[in-house]
Chain A
């Protein structure tokens, strides 16, 4: 398992996580320790450009966001398929190139469809 083969490969990832978590934790704790604490009602009120907030922040979002997320998901999965193909590109040769072209072409149809349906427009 992982500790038997190459645990040292995960040291950079571990350090990265440590720095990421550590930075957040240290800044929050140090800030909490040294800042003055004097809350009152007006200071805790939500601030919106100096104007009193009009209605609830939890509004309904436009359905466009859903379409954008779906498009992102589809092309994200496409990239996931591209990665092992790129790694094996030399071994697969022309055969691999052709099959990936077919794959990309099918998804390109969807891309053109989204384009023509103006799903990418935002106005």
Chain B
């Protein structure tokens, strides 16, 4: 059952990722990316990371993909033809290098490391979101507050970049 689910989600992720680079129409690529995000959420569910699965759907499939689509529409990418465009030999070399890199990493990674002890042993029966919340808002308090600054920078940056063009039309 588990193996079958993993095979389905993993296979779908690989396939939709391939379609992202395969289509020449950027909108098709974005839609393939959406399929990939959704199946990655499925992988998270198999790994019992329900909160992460929800966040994956909400943030990646919901917000980031919309951002990608808007950027595609802003840049007005014209696509001729339907599939794969020609690449320079340099890209192929870099691609092979990256593939070798990934294979080396896969061979050298220990996939079942010794996990550190849960930081709050007094509350072992908490669910997924509860545990994340307790760790995030006590132990990782500072990174959490920094995250708000990062978001603020993103917000201000977007407005500054678009400034002057906001009066457009």
Judging by beta carbons under 8 Å apart, are A113 and B63 in contact?
Answer: no
Judging by beta carbons under 8 Å apart, are A73 and B67 in contact?
Answer: yes
Judging by beta carbons under 8 Å apart, are A70 and B152 in contact?
Answer: no
Give the shortest distance, in Å, between B80 (CB) and chain A (any CB): 12
Q: Which residues of A contact B156 (CB under 8 A)?
A: 110, 113
Give the shortest distance, in Å, between B18 (CB) and chain A (any CB): 22
Number of interface residues of B (CB under 8 A): 50
Bound-state CA distance A10–B62 (Å) is 21
* Number of A-B residue pairs with CB-CB distance less than 8 Å in the complex they form: 155
Number of interface residues of A (CB under 8 A): 52
Given contacts A1-B2, A102-B145, contact A85 B48 (CB under 8 A): no
Judging by beta carbons under 8 Å apart, are B74 and A63 in contact?
Answer: yes
B-contacting 9-mer, from A20-28, A34-42, A44-52, A53-61: A53-61
Interface of A is mostly: helix
Interface residues of B (CB under 8 A from A): 1-2, 5, 45-48, 51, 55, 58-59, 62-64, 66-67, 70-71, 73-74, 76, 78, 123, 129-130, 132-134, 136-138, 141, 144-145, 147-149, 151-152, 154-156, 158-159, 162-163, 165-166, 168-169
